[in-house]
Amino acid sequence: MSKDVFIMGIESSCDETSISIVKNGREILSNVINSQISTHEVYGGVVPEIASRMHTEVINLIMKQSLKEANITLDEIDGIAVTYGPGLVGALLVGVSYAKALSFATNKPLIAVNHINGHVAANYITHKDLEPPFLCLIISGGHTYLVNVKDYNESEIIGKTKDDAIGEAFDKVARVCNLGYPGGPKIDNLAKSGVPNINLPISHLENYNFTFSGIKTAVINLNHKDPNINKADLCASFENAVTQMLIFNVEKAINEFNFEKVVLAGGVSRNSYIRKEFDELSKRLKVKVYYPDGILCTDNAAMIASSGYWEYLKGNFADLKLNAEPGLKL
Ligand code: KG4
Ligand code: ZN
């Protein structure tokens, strides 16, 4: 049997500082996440300067705690994987600089991870037998992609949003309904007591692309016209409409490309209504549908360590010239 590989993952692209140790790409030994949500909540969204400063304050402590929880020494780590984009430039730079310093000081290989591939990799941890190829719907606060995952960390984009990311639409709708930040989990809860009885525009674009700005504006206008509109019904109607848009493109792609596995990833894949509808799709089309465990849907370093593991196996290492790339694409 070959030797076990222990990868340290480092994530600081937005408002979570997280460091994790993952064994062989699939087994979490520790996954320490310091969320800054309560600090940013009062501003209604993430304040980049505050995010960077808070990452700097805690990153070294988080690293030590991560090693302690995993019951492992820095010496036993085989590689240091870090998110280098996309994300907030100042926030990314904290993780990238820290990872480079650690790699230099310990002489361990540095591995550059695309945050979006990290979201996909969260599924390799939750589902030990999941292997590419599969169709993946990445739905997060910053991204909405439908991709053909051909191999680990190798995918071809089939469709993407032409305007807002789906998570942005969730957060905006929650804001106009006065539910607070981040909006996704609040909408998820409130919608459970509502009925999807409000008509909202459902858009289908060519080529598997998505648009969420129309529905976002429709919800803002309805709220403006009638501030007493039933918020639970509005949230249920919003969830119902965006889910129909997601399912429409996913179903079209399954039929055209004959995928047998559909994988969801990203913060919005935690949504209970979306999961229920994808479970239905799974039965109806006889495809297997996968989601990450709840905590692995939103930003965390275990998914970065898993994605880094597949690069480690390929010998794909970065050097100390690695820089943050805020606009990095898939
Ligand atoms: O993946 P993530 O942590 O960050 C990005 O890489 O963007 O996603 C955060 C997004 C936020 O927009 C948040 O509102 C949304 O995921 N989210 C949810 C739920 N939990 C988090 N959206 C809908 N339902 C949820 N339960
Ligand atoms: Zn993310």
Kindly state the helix (H) or strand (E) to which residue 199 belongs, with its residue range. none
Question: What average pLDDT does this structure show over 257-276?
Answer: 98
Among residues 185, 179, 184, 180, the alpha carbon closest in space to that of 168 is found at 184
Instruction: Kindly state if the Cβ of 11 falls inside 6 Å of ligand 1.
Output: no
Token readout for 209 is: 């692309």
- Please provide the average confidence, as pLDDT, over all residues in the chain: 97
CA 116–ligand 2 middle distance (angstroms): 7
- The C-alpha R_g of the chain, in whole angstroms, comes to 20
Closest ligand 1 atom, residue 13 Cα: 6
CA 299–ligand 2 middle distance (angstroms): 5
Kindly tell me if the per-residue pLDDT of 1 is higher than 80.
no
- pLDDT at residue 234 in the model: 98
Q: Which ligand is nearest to the CA of 168?
A: 1
- Cα separation of the two ends of the chain: 34
**Are the C-beta atoms of 284 and 315 separated by less than 8 Å?**
no
Report strand pairing: 79-85 vs 154-160. unpaired
Question: What average pLDDT does this structure show over 271-284?
Answer: 98
Helices and strands, number each (H, E), in the chain = 11, 10
**Are the C-beta atoms of 253 and 146 separated by less than 8 Å?**
yes
Bridge-partner residues for 80, per DSSP? 8, 110
pTM above 0.95, yes or no: yes
Token readout for 64 is: 């030590």
pLDDT tens digits for range 63-80: 999 999 999 999 999 999
Q: Which ligand is nearest to the CA of 45?
A: 1
Please, what are the domains in the chain? 6-121+297-314 (3.30.420.40), 133-292 (3.30.420.40)
The CA distance from 74 to 31, in Å, is: 15
CA 280–ligand 2 middle distance (angstroms): 26
Residue 42 or residue 223, greater confidence? 223
CA 40–ligand 2 middle distance (angstroms): 16
Ligand 1 pocket test, candidate residues 170, 172, 212, 264, most atoms within 8 A of CB: 170
Closest ligand 1 atom, residue 166 Cα: 12
3-state SS, one letter per residue, for 83-100:
EEECCCHHHHHHHHHHHH
Instruction: Kindly state if the Cβ of 164 falls inside 6 Å of ligand 1.
Output: no
Bridge-partner residues for 27, per DSSP? 23
Q: Which ligand is nearest to the CA of 142?
A: 1
The CA distance from 238 to 242, in Å, is: 6
Report strand pairing: 110-114 vs 134-139. unpaired
